[in-house]
A and B are shown apart, each in its own frame.
Chain A
Amino acid sequence: MSTTTTTQPIATGTWKIDTVHSHVGFAVKHMVVATFRGRFEDYTGELVADEQGRPRLDGSVVVDSIVVKDENLAGHLKTPDFFDTANHPKIEFASSDIRVADGGELEVEGELTIKGHTHVVTGRGSIVGPHVDIAGNDKLGVELEAIIDRREFGLEWNAPLPKGGFALDNDVKLQVSLELVREA
C-alpha cells in the first residue's frame, strides 16, 4: 500500500459494504448511440481508516454474479471473449491513495485487476457521513465513477456494424455506489 493522503480525514474504523443498499455496475455504449448497463450481485469490500486517518478501500467482485437484461448476453460475457470467468472468477480492487476534499469530494486511486490484467485507475465521486441509521448503525455513503478502456483488461470482443462503427464501445464507465456500515 503506498502513501495515502487526505485533506479531510475519514472517520476511523472498519467500514463494510452493506450489499443490500449498494450497487456495483457498469455502463457501455452499444450500436454507437445506445447505452447498455449491467451490474454484479456478489461482492465484498471494506473501507478501513486508522487513527492517523489513513484510509484504504479494497473490494472483490464475483464475476459470475453479473446481471444483464439479456441472459444470452450474460452467458457471452462469461466466456473468454469477455471476462473468462472460469479462469478469472474475481475482479479485485485495492486502493493506493484516497483523497477527500472539503465538501466530501472523493478521489480513490488504486489497482484494478480484471481477467489477470492489473492497471491503476482513479475513481471520482463523493463521500458522505458518518450518519447513524434508524437501527443505530454508523453509515458512510461512497459514490465513485471511473472510465476504463476494456481492451486494457483483455475484454476485446467487438464486431463491425454493417454500416460502419463497432457494436460495442471500448470505454466502459464503472459505477460504484456503496453504503458502508462500521463494524462494531
Chain B
Amino acid sequence: MTKVLGISGSLRRDSHNTRLLSATRALLGEDVELALFDRLDEIPPFNEDDEASTPEAVAALKAAIASADAVLVATPEYNGSLPGVLKNGLDWVSRPFATTPLMNKPAAVIGASTSLFGAVWAQAEARKVLATIGARVVDRELPIPQADEALGADGLPLDEDAREALSATLDELLEMASATEVATA
C-alpha cells in the first residue's frame, strides 16, 4: 500500500483545491491510500525562538509526511504566489534541515483558482519551495482556471485534457514513490 499525504493550501470550507485533492482518490488506484492533512490553520507563525518546543500541529504534519511515501500539494494562488499558511507549514517542516521529513520525499503540486490562470504561478513557487527543502518534485504543473466551473460533481476537472494531465502528474508521483521505496528497501 502506497501512502500519499494530501495538503491543501486553502483553509476555506468549500475550497476548490481541497475538493480537487480529495477527488484524486478516484485516480490514484486501489493500492494507494490518500490521507489529507487539514490542520494548517493550527500551525503558529514560524518563529525560530519557538523551534525547541515544536507545536503539536507541526509535529503532526512532520509525522504525517514522514509516514507517507509521497506528498501531493494543491494550492490556490494569492497575489501570484502560494498562501501564507501553506508556506508557513512548509517552513516549519523544513527545520531542522538535516532531519526534515521532506528530504528526498517525492512531491507533486496541483492547483485551482477562479482566475484565468489556475494558480500556475503559485504552483511554480510551491515546487520551488518544496525542492529547496529537499523534496524530489514532479516537474509538472496542473493549472485549473475558473475553478468554480471547471470541476465536476466528482471534484475532478471536467476538461478531458486537464483530467489526463492530472492522471499523468499522479502517475509520475507514484512512480517516483515506488522508485524511492525500492532504493530504500
Contact = CB atoms under 8 A, between A and B. Distances in A.
A167 B118 CA distance: 11
A70 interface: yes
A70 B123 contact: no
Contacts of B121: 159, 162
Contacts of A72: 115
Contacts of B124: 162-163
A157 interface: no
A69 interface: yes
B166 to A, nearest CB: 16
B143 A73 contact: no
Interface string B40-81: 000000000000000000000000000000000000000000
Contact of B115 (A73, A161, A163): A73
Interface stretch (A28-36, A46-54, A86-94, A105-113): A28-36
Contact of B146 (A70, A159, A162): A70
B143 A31 contact: yes
B141 A31 contact: no
Nearest to B113: A70
B145 A162 contact: no
Given A70-B146, A162-B123, A30 B114 contact: no
A161 B114 CA distance: 17
Interface of B: 114-118, 120-121, 123-124, 141, 143, 145-146
8 contacts: A30-B116, A31-B143, A34-B145, A69-B146, A70-B114, A72-B115, A161-B120, A162-B120
